[in-house]
Amino acid sequence: MSSNPPNDGENPKDPLSEMLAKLFGGEGAGGISPEELAKATGMPSDPQSLAMMFQQVQAMMSSQSDAPVNWQLAHENARQAAAAGNDPSITAARAREVDEALRLAEMWLDPVTDFPSTSMIGRAWSRAEWVEETMDTWKRLTEPVANSVAFALSSALGEQMPEEMKAMMGGAQSMLQNMGGALFGMQLGQAVGALSGEVVSASDIGVPLAGKQMAMLPANVDSFGEGLDVPQKEVMLFLAVREAAHARLFAHVPWLSGHLLGAIESFARGIHIDMGKIEELARDIDPTNPESMQEALSHGVFMPQRSPEQDAALERLETTLALVEGWVDELSAAAAQNLPSASALRETVRRRRATGGPAEHAFASLVGLELRPRRLRDAAALWSHLEEDRGIAGRDAIWAHPDLLPTAEDLDDPSGFGGRRKLIEASEEDVDAALQKLLSGDYDDQPSDAGQSGPEADSTDGPDDGNGDSGDEGGNAPGRS
């Protein structure tokens, strides 16, 4: 019989007993008292500390999910992380400020791009709203590696869990799987929630995380402008131009979103978990302390070596991200040239995108992927050369098909891309013209008259008359064997 007193209202259960009852059912951990459990497993004996610990453990073990990763916990933790800082609700005044900035940005973009306005409604989001609008895309991008991490964690936790706790659980593997999936979900949610405090717009990282939407996060725009000695209105306008440029590009280049997201997914599928490293980390993990597990997980658990397929996917991704951000960079500079602080803001954005913020680094450590355009400046120079060479329409026409996009090699020599592309196009035109002639029957099956002075012509000539005249006009006979 359990040593815990009945809950009769006068002598209520301590918090740990309640947690144990919820976690294991009945009156606790198989009739073991909280004191005995703490002694057996080496946990602290303070009831309140244990209660908080078991609340997290209970959430990880008792949550049921068909997927290897608990995306519900990921979502909840993302919301909590977004709300941890100052996340004010969007007021009518701030919504109007964002709407006006995006409308003006659309007008400024009209003369500098061949892509027309999208007629999207500009929205103002809080950080929590950004989490809600982007969570499905984060799930899609991280699911391949998340599943691998969840499996590795459940295996490692099973090896490291004290025998006493294994016996109490009856070797319940499903609990450990839930625990691994929930642990990664919690960590991913915290990383996404932290990112919500850094991004300034819906497509700030160069990927359409929220689909075909145009939105700004006013609180983060304010933070971006701190210390720049630039009027807040100018900061909002410049960042609005960037957001509107992203929106036009993804709206009028329908294959681009799938191309980017597909490259990310292809890279993520190739990530291999370093089981040796995760087992090493697990030695320092206390299975009853989720915070220690999250601390260990944040250090990264991926093999540094990449496969050739991953290298190819990463090069495609980095090149495409650079081309997107370089195009937006060029357009923003041209559209916002009347802003006194445009040059300073452009350089600030460039450096920010090149280095990434703390939350972006935390996310990269967790999923093994950095979403940064390392060659933004090279790409911007390439788009500038293309505009000088082909004009605005010719520059934007490069986005017509993925096969037309510049490559990483083209970024090495931005000024020479136009000349190289002209040679390729000229060669393709020659091939097309020749193929068209062949298909239309313009080519004769017989050689032309100019080529008839060979052996075929000789076969009709009479024998040599002894005067050196073989009948060949043009003196071809001496040259033949």
- Over the chain (481 residues), the average pLDDT of each successive run of 10 is 45 46 46 52 52 53 62 90 88 96 96 94 95 91 76 66 60 60 82 92 92 94 93 96 97 93 80 68 60 59 66 85 95 95 94 80 72 88 93 95 90 83 66 66 52 46 47 42 36
HSE of 476, CA atoms in CB hemisphere, 13 A: 14
Task: Please list the residues that pair with 320 across neighbouring strands.
Answer: none
Alpha carbons 64 and 78: distance in angstroms, whole number: 19
Alpha carbons 430 and 424: distance in angstroms, whole number: 10
Alpha carbons 292 and 273: distance in angstroms, whole number: 20
Alpha carbons 107 and 78: distance in angstroms, whole number: 35
DSSP code string of 2-29: -SSPP--SSSPPPHHHHHHHHHHSTTSB
pLDDT of res. 340: 95
Task: Please list the residues that pair with 215 across neighbouring strands.
Answer: 123
Ramachandran sector of residue 13 (left: φ over 0; alpha: ψ -120 to 50; beta: rest): beta
List the structure tokens of 254.
């329908």
Alpha carbons 140 and 144: distance in angstroms, whole number: 8
Residue 214 DSSP symbol: E
Q: Domain limits of the chain? A: 15-59, 71-376
Q: What is the pTM of this model?
A: 0.72
The shares of helix, strand and coil residues in the chain, as percent rounded to the nearest 5, are: 65, 0, 30
List the structure tokens of 162.
């004290």
Beta carbons within 10 angstroms of residue 359's beta carbon: 19
Beta carbons within 10 angstroms of residue 323's beta carbon: 28
